[in-house]
Chain A
């Protein structure tokens, strides 16, 4: 537990309002996390230094700047380089998942997801990443 940092603040980057709404309920109400929502990669890059989330939940298919590009930008900026990222995507073939992990994500939440379960899934990924 020494390396284990508590997961408290999450930033969701997702352009679709329908998904924003349900993730918000699931993570705030069920998961008890603090959540901020951004609608684009650009918005996220501006918000992160202020909000300093523990975790970024990043949709892969975003308009203009997609998820992987956003992740690269996050990694390139020393201020936020070590923030953990989980992708949200419908593409969850094994080779696709390993692609996301190579890019530096700690895990993947597949879409569609069960709103009652997503908070628990995120907690699991977080724990595994902490080696618990």
Chain B
């Protein structure tokens, strides 16, 4: 060692590793985007070369930062791309699928690496956490619509909600992408007349052959039962009449993506025996559809930090550990307000009524034998989590929008401010209020007003990161807490959303209208506790209103 102690350097390297892990999702985004471009552009050589370069870099840097899995997976991808480039040929279907599997595998590894790195106590600086969701791949929508203007306008509207939209004028033009991009939905406006309804069915058949998993959504200016029946027979998932009500279209799309997009079940496994814990984790992780995320804790005495960071949906707890009993840990968990309701399931090598009773009386919800068959384990955990999630959601969510309710939002603000203070981090709070909302209700009625509220809540959910906290504060007022984000950055993000929201066409009967919102932003540590943040954001919001609405204002300290 020349200048510094080895320890000091090791600590520094550790920080660098974390920072690198924080940048990984951004790099995965680049790869995903490049892959999509490649699929959409008939294998343009420059995209292929670019993708190869991205994989190459990741392969080289991953293990250098200690993430060998990232390197290995990127390396496999790199090699496949390399042989493709040197063959000079367009890949066939099976090759494309193989590449796709590879990319998804890499994606998964990166997500896990990124998450695993958030659990440390050290500061995680992740200014580059992407604001758009990672899984753009699974949010592809294809519109087949002969009228280019109509197609464009529809694509734009859907695009605001975070979907990746491609438009084509006919099936033939869409053909390639239909096969390759596995769109979630295909929205099509197939013109048909009474005597030529078979045309619709045939077209639908062609689409189905190319994209089996995709759902068909028909748009039509007719709404009679005959047209609807034909749509059903053509295996249509939904039938919408024109002019299209964008909110209900997005409802359908969200439902479709929701099933693929459901938040994974987070299961924390506490067992001093690494092998047992691993076996369970692997069983859960290999369940179909990436249902589970797991975190293993072999030292139960270190439960506190990971508990809040991982925020498990369910805890699997070994009953017998060397230094502490499972029941004792369960009691500790139950004494934490935030985890009173999280299901705790005891694991044990033995069974017997007495043991099970003991487990339940000490705050556990269930009792599982460690040797339970895989499918039983998966099903019983899944059922428990589903139930507890729906109960929780009644407690903490707003009925109309599904966002956090007022109380819960405030609670989260307290928690996040405390956490951010501990890490000497930053965060911003944005208060959003829809402009002239009373007018919307008075003019178009409450059901329409409710749809406007829902569309804003959706837009916020789509455009913000999953780690951001979004609540409905009441009436037409929303609160957003953006973690690791300063006021300037928050301004940019919310202002983008403001512009997007103003361009959404809301539907009332045959009439279209648009709505705007105003927003005030305040950030920590400039305002250094929850209530002054809240007040400052509120004040900035009212300044934005005073200045003429439809704008975002940042709270300034000297005014207080």
B71 touches A112 (CB 8 A): yes
B159 at the interface (CB under 8 A from A): no
Pick from B2, B9, B61: contact of A16, CB below 8 A.
B61
B65 touches A18 (CB 8 A): yes
| Bound CA–CA A30/B16 (angstroms) | 15
B63 at the interface (CB under 8 A from A): yes
The secondary-structure label for the interface of chain B is helix
A113 surroundings in chain B (CB, below 8 A): 64
A90 touches B59 (CB 8 A): yes
B9 touches A22 (CB 8 A): no
A18 touches B20 (CB 8 A): yes
> Contact string, B39-75, partner A, CB cutoff 8 A, digits 1/0?
0000000000000010011011111110010010001
B13 touches A115 (CB 8 A): yes
> Contact string, A54-81, partner B, CB cutoff 8 A, digits 1/0?
0000000100000000000000000000
Q: Which residue of A lies closest to B8 (CB)?
A: A29
B1 touches A112 (CB 8 A): no
Known: A21-B16, A22-B64, A112-B59. A31 touches B2 (CB 8 A): yes
A29 touches B9 (CB 8 A): yes
A103 at the interface (CB under 8 A from B): no
B56 touches A115 (CB 8 A): no
B3 at the interface (CB under 8 A from A): yes
A25 touches B13 (CB 8 A): yes
A30 surroundings in chain B (CB, below 8 A): 1-2, 4, 9
| Bound CA–CA A16/B53 (angstroms) | 11
B61 surroundings in chain A (CB, below 8 A): 16, 18-19, 22, 112
B386 at the interface (CB under 8 A from A): no
B12 at the interface (CB under 8 A from A): yes
B57 surroundings in chain A (CB, below 8 A): 16, 18
A61 surroundings in chain B (CB, below 8 A): 53, 56
B9 surroundings in chain A (CB, below 8 A): 25, 29-30, 116
Q: Which residue of B lies closest to A23 (CB)?
A: B64
Interface size for B (C-beta < 8 A) is 24
A111 at the interface (CB under 8 A from B): yes
A32 at the interface (CB under 8 A from B): yes
Shortest C-beta distance, A27 to chain B (Å), equals 10
B2 touches A111 (CB 8 A): no
Shortest C-beta distance, A123 to chain B (Å), equals 11
A116 surroundings in chain B (CB, below 8 A): 9-10, 13
A29 touches B16 (CB 8 A): no
| Bound CA–CA A16/B9 (angstroms) | 21
Chain B CB within 10 Å — which of A29, A31, A114 has the most?
A29
Shortest C-beta distance, B106 to chain A (Å), equals 15
Interface residues in A108-127 (C-beta closer than 8 Å to B): 111-116
Shortest C-beta distance, B8 to chain A (Å), equals 8
B2 touches A19 (CB 8 A): no
Known: A32-B3, A61-B56. A18 touches B23 (CB 8 A): yes
Pick from B1, B10, B16: contact of A22, CB below 8 A.
B16
A18 surroundings in chain B (CB, below 8 A): 20, 23, 57, 61, 64-65
B12 touches A25 (CB 8 A): yes
| Bound CA–CA A32/B2 (angstroms) | 5
A22 touches B65 (CB 8 A): yes
Known: A25-B9, A29-B9. A112 touches B60 (CB 8 A): yes
B60 touches A90 (CB 8 A): yes
A115 surroundings in chain B (CB, below 8 A): 13, 64
| Bound CA–CA A61/B59 (angstroms) | 13
| Bound CA–CA A90/B60 (angstroms) | 7
Interface residues in A3-38 (C-beta closer than 8 Å to B): 16, 18-19, 21-22, 25, 29-32
| Bound CA–CA A116/B8 (angstroms) | 12
Pick from A19, A25, A32: contact of B60, CB below 8 A.
A19
A111 touches B16 (CB 8 A): no
Shortest C-beta distance, A118 to chain B (Å), equals 9
Interface residues in A81-132 (C-beta closer than 8 Å to B): 90, 111-116
B2 surroundings in chain A (CB, below 8 A): 29-32
B13 surroundings in chain A (CB, below 8 A): 22, 25, 115-116
Shortest C-beta distance, B34 to chain A (Å), equals 16
By a beta-carbon cutoff of 8 Å, the part of chain A in contact with chain B is: 16, 18-19, 21-22, 25, 29-32, 61, 90, 111-116
13 interchain pairs, CB-CB under 8 A: A18-B65, A19-B64, A22-B65, A29-B9, A30-B9, A32-B2, A32-B3, A90-B59, A90-B75, A111-B59, A111-B64, A112-B61, A116-B13
Apart from A18-B61, A29-B4, A29-B9, list 20 A-B contacts with CB within 8 A. Answer: A16-B61, A18-B20, A18-B57, A18-B65, A19-B60, A21-B16, A22-B13, A22-B61, A22-B64, A25-B9, A25-B12, A29-B2, A30-B4, A61-B53, A90-B60, A112-B68, A114-B64, A115-B13, A116-B9, A116-B13
